[in-house]
Amino acid sequence: MPYTVEITLADPPSSEDGLPIYPLSESFDTLADAKEAAADHIAKLGQPPSTVMFTVMDRDGVTVATGDDSAT
């Protein structure tokens, strides 16, 4: 099942338009690959990790993991 990743930047703080959110350009075959790609992308941003979040979604757009998930 393909998985996609959305990155949410919480720094700078939200504005009236909300938090900046963007997808990674590729999809991933496994949940583990998607989470690893998100972590790698966040590490390369050069921002404090606590100011960047990620969401992994399945092909139906259902959230299956977030950066807050400690059990997955």
More confident residue, 18 or 37: 37
At position 26, the amino acid (one-letter code) is: E
Q: Which residue has the tokens 């960047």?
A: 52
Q: What is the pLDDT of residues 28-71, one digit of tens each?
A: 999 999 999 999 999 999 888 888 999 999 999 999 999 876 43
Q: Which of 42, 48, 47, 46 is nearest to 67 (CA)?
A: 42
Burial of 9 per CB tally in 10 Å (0-12, 13-18, 19+): middle
If phi over 0 gives left and psi between -120 and 50 gives alpha, with beta otherwise, what is residue 58? beta
Inter-residue contact 44 to 24 (CB < 8 Å): no
User: What is the model's pTM?
Assistant: 0.82
More confident residue, 11 or 41: 41
